[in-house]
Structures are given as structure tokens and as C-alpha cells.
Amino acid sequence: MERINLGEADGLPPVDWAEVVEKLDAGSMPLPDAANARTTWLSTVNDDGSPHVTAVGALWMDGAFWFQTGAGTRKGHNVARDPRCSVAVSVRDADVVIEGDAMRVTEPGALARIAKAWADNGWPAEPDESGPGITAPFNAPSQGPPPWNVYRIEPRSAIVVSATEPGGLTRFLF
């Protein structure tokens, strides 16, 4: 992993990636009175090259972000055509943007593990018996009917902005 301190010119120390992963692994949320919110944002590439940004119920697990979507959604069409995307989330005392490729997950064991993780976090997802996706009693109406496809985004790069003194701005290349 290469670490580039983007805040060096301002005298800021580099961010420690291990501390960021620890917060992601713990599902660390911003402080209740923090200016940042706990929304996870997914950015995909539209047909014309413009960005499409939408809130998603993504989870960090096994060193990657996981999200689900219906095959007929814009993000579903976008990642099927061009897997490049980014995920942005705020954790305790930091904002994190991870870039990578969305890879569809169809392996039954992996689908069962991520469905259980979503269920453990309050959304009663489970593997779909009819094929390589997941289902649940409810989802955002814009997702269309189940089953929903599951995608994994392994970080290719990340930018972290630290909100604690003395601050920090660091890019990581994996």
C-alpha cells in the first residue's frame, strides 16, 4: 500500500489506514452532534460518462463495501456496463471515500454471509432460493422487486479526511 500525505504542505500528519479500517470494521458512526451524517453514498458512471450518486445501505465487511440493488435500477445498469465506482461514508472523526470496481457476488456462501450481516444490522435480508441474489420483506421502492443483486467493492484507492486535531488528508493506493 502506498500512502500519500495530501496535507503535508499544511503541516498535517498522514492518516493511519489501520485506524480507519478499525472504525469501518466497528461500524463507527459520527458523534450525535457531528456535522457529518451516517449516509453511505455510491457513485457510478452513467452512459454519457457523468456521475450518478445515490444513497445506499452498504456494509463494510471483509475489507470491502457491499451493496445490493435491483437489476433494473440505474446503478444496476451502470455497474453492469462499467464497474468503476466510489463509496463515501463518514465514520467517527473522519470522512472516507473509497474507489474500486463493483463486482457482482453470486457465490451462495458469500451471499449468505452478507445477508446475515444485513440482518444483524436490522434489515432482514436472506439469500434468495431462486438464484444468485438476496431477498427481504421490504426494501426501498426504487429497488424494484426481489431478488436483488449483491455487489462487492474492494478498495483500489481511498481518501481519508481526519476531523480530529491536528487533522489530516491522506490518499491510499492499494
Going by C-alpha positions, the residue among 102, 103, 98 that lies closest to residue 172 is: 98
Q: Where does the pLDDT of residue 33 fall: very low under 50, low under 70, confident under 90, or very high at 90 and above?
A: low
CATH of the domain at 103: 2.30.110.10
> Under 8 Å CB-to-CB from 111, ≥6 apart: which residues?
105, 127, 132, 133, 134, 150
18-27 pLDDT per residue, tens: 999 999 998 8
Domain span at 100: 2-173
pLDDT recorded at residue 38: 65
Query: Does the predicted model carry a pTM greater than 0.85?
Result: yes
The model's pLDDT over 87-129, given as tens digits with 9 standing for 90+, comes to 999 888 899 999 999 999 999 999 999 999 999 989 999 999 9
- How many domains are there within the chain? 1
CB 150 within 8 A of CB 105: yes
Q: Do 85 and 79 form a contact (C-beta atoms < 8 A)?
A: yes
